[in-house]
Structure 1
C-alpha cells in the first residue's frame, strides 16, 4: 500500500493566501509609487506658492516695523514702542530663517542681498529707537533716514526677486506639468502591468487547480461508463490535489482488481456449474450404462443359451471343462454386476474380456480367433468400468458375427509416451464413415443387432463409453481419447493418459 512521505495539509489554502498576498503587494506597490510621485509633485508645487507667501509675509512685517518705528519716533507713545519691538522681533526671526544658498542663481543672490540689507535695516531701526529714548533728535533722525533708505532698497530688491521667482516658478510649473503627464502615463502603464500580472497569476493558479480536477472528473466518468483501462492521473503539484489524484488512482486500481477477481470468481463458478453438470451427466450415463449392463447380463435368452451350452458340455465333455466354463461365466457375471461408478483397472478390464471371449468361443466354436498382446511394464491404469467389453462386443456382433469362419478379434495394449493405447480390431465387414461419425457425435448411439440364434442382444453404446472416458480424464475432444478406423474391418484405438502417480 502506498504511503505519503509528506503530509500536504492546507497547501491549497496557503497558495490562495500567497496569491492574495502577492496580488496585494503588487497593488500596494503601484499605489505607493503613485502616492510617492504625487507627494513629490505636491511638494514642488507647495514650494512655488510657499516662496510667494513668505515674501509677502516678509514685506508685511517690514512695513509693520517701518510704520511702528515712524509712529514711535513721532509720538513717543509706549504702545507704538511695544508694536515696534514685536514687529522687529518677528522680522529678526524671519531674517534668521530666510534661506541663503550660495550659488550663481539670481534668486539666491537676491535672497543673500535682502538678508544682509534686513540686518542693516534692523540695526538702524534699533539705533533710532535708542537715540529716541536718549532724546537725541539729530541721532534718531539720521538713523531713521538711513533705515528708510535701506527700507526702500529692500522693497526694490523684493520686487526684483518676485519677478525673478515668477519666471522661475513659471518654468518650474511647466516642468512639473510635463512631469505630471509622464507620471500619469507611467501610472497607467504600471496599473496595466499590475492588472496583467494579476490576470496571469489568476489564470495560472486556476489552471493548476482545475486542470487535474478536470482530468479526475473525466476519469471518473470513464469508470462510471465501465471503462477501467484508464491511465493514472499524474499531478506535479505537492498539495491536496495530488493526494486526491493518488487516492483516486488507488481506488481505480482497487476497483479494477476487484472486477478482475469478480470475473475470476464468476468463471470459477461457471466452471463449477459446468463440472456439476458434467458430474450429473456422467452419473446419468453411469446409471444408463449400469442399467443396460444389468439388462444384458440378466437377459433371459443369454442366460438360456449359456446354460444350454453348459448342459451340452456336461454331457459330452469332462467335468473340468464344464467347471472352467461356469467359472468364466461366474467371473463375467461378478464383474458386470459390480458398481459401475467405481473405477476399474486396465488389467481387470482385460481379464473381463478374456472371460467374455472364452464364453463366446464355447458358444460359437471355431467361428473366430482371439489374439491378445500386452506390453511388459504397462501401468495398471484406472479406467471407467465396462469400457473394453462393449467395444469387443460390438466387434463381434457388428463385425464378424455374420462370418462362417475366419473371424479374428485382436486386443493389444502398448505404451506410447505419456499414453497407453488399447487397440481393439477385427477383420469383419467394417463400418461406413457416416456410421463412425454418428458414433463419435450421437449422444444415443447404442447399437443393437440380432445374433445368430435369432435373439436380440444389446450392448452399451460406444458413445456412452466415449463420454465416460472424456469425463473421467477431463478431455474435451473425442479425437483425444478415441480413434476409429475402418478399411478392412474395424480398428478402435483408446488413448488413455498416464497420471504421475500411476507411472
Structure 2
C-alpha cells in the first residue's frame, strides 16, 4: 500500500485558513467602506434635504397664516374659527423654525450669508408673532376696526418681508448644498472604486476556496463509492489514490488501511460463526438427547406403578363408600381418581382448557373438605373465551393453584380466597391466566430469588410446581413466561402467558 511523507507540505487547513482570513478581512473592509459612505455621504445629503424640508415647511406655515388673514372678513367674519386656524399655522411655523436652527448647527460648510438670512428670518418672525398676538387681543375684545387697521398697516407688511427672507434663506441653502454635493460626489466615486476592488478580491477568494473544495470532494466521492462497495462486503476494490493535500491524503491512507483491516476481521468473524454454528448444533443435539433421557426416566418411574390396579382399587373403595352411604367420601375418592389419572398424562399433551378447569375444581373440592370455609375459590372467564375449544398444556394450572392454597392461604389464620381470571390476548396470540390470592404474601428477598430462578428455570420433569410450569412454558414459545408479584400481608399474583390455541369448528349449511 502506498505511503507518503506529509510533513513538509502546506496543509489544506492552512490554505483554507488563509483564504478565509483574507475573505473576512475584505468583507470587514467592505463593511467599513459602506459605513463610511453612509456616514460621510449619505448622512450629509440627508441633513441637507432635512434642512430644505424644514425651510419649506416653515415657509408653508408663514404663507398659511398670511392666507388666513387675507381671507378673513373683518366686518362679520368667524373670529374664533379664524383664530384657531391662525394659532395652528403659527405653531407649525414655530416648530419648523427651531428645526432649521438645529439642522444648520449640524451642517458643515454653512455660508455666512445663510446665517445672516436666518438671523433676519428669526428677527422678522419674532416681530410677526408679536403683531399677531396684538391682533388676536383686538379681535378677542371685539375691536375689529383696530385689528383691521393693524393688519393692513403692519401685519401684512411684516408677513411680506418674512416670506421674502425665507425664500432667500432657501436659495442660499441650495447654493451651499451644490458646493457640498460636488465634494461628496468626488468622495463617493473614490469609495465606489475601492468597493469594486474589494468585491473583486472577495470573488477571487471565493473562486480559490471553491477550487480547493472541488479538489477536496473528488477523493471524498471516491471514498463514498468505496464505502458502498464495503457495505456490500466487496473488499477487493482498488485502493483510493493518495491526493496531494496532506489531510485528505492521510484520510485516504487511513481509509485504505481500515478496508484491509475490516476484510481481515470479516474473514475472522466468518470462521468464528462457522465454529459457533457447529457448537450450537452439537449443543442442540445434546439437549435433545438429555430431554429424551429425562422423558425415558419419567416413563420408567410411571411404569413402576400399575395404573389399572390403582384405579380398580379406588373404584372398589368408591363403591363401598356408596354402599355405606358415605357419599362425601365417595365424591372425594372420585375426585382423587380423576386427579391421579390426569397426573399420569404426558405434560406435553394439549388438552381443552375446560379439562384443566375441571381438574382444579376437583382439587379444590378435596382441599375444601380439609380446611372448610377457610379456603374459597372464584373463577372469572372472558365472554369471548370458549373453554372447550381452547387448548393448553396438561397440568399447567393446578400446580399454581396448589401453591396459592398451600403457601398463601393456609398459613393465614382466617383463611382467604383464590381468584382465577382468564383473558385472551388475541392481538398478541396469547392467553393470560391470573391466579390471585389474598394470603400472607412473599417477602421481598424470597420474591427476588424466585424471580431470578424463574428467568432460567431448569427442566424438572420429576417435580410438579412453578419451576416445572416455567420450564415447560419456555419450551412452548419464547413469548410465554411466568410473572410473580407479591406484597407481604396483602397476597400474591401469579400471571401465566400461554400460546392462544383455539380450534375452529366448520359448519356446513
User: Normalised by the size of structure 1, how large is the TM-score?
Assistant: 0.38
User: Normalised by the size of structure 2, how large is the TM-score?
Assistant: 0.37
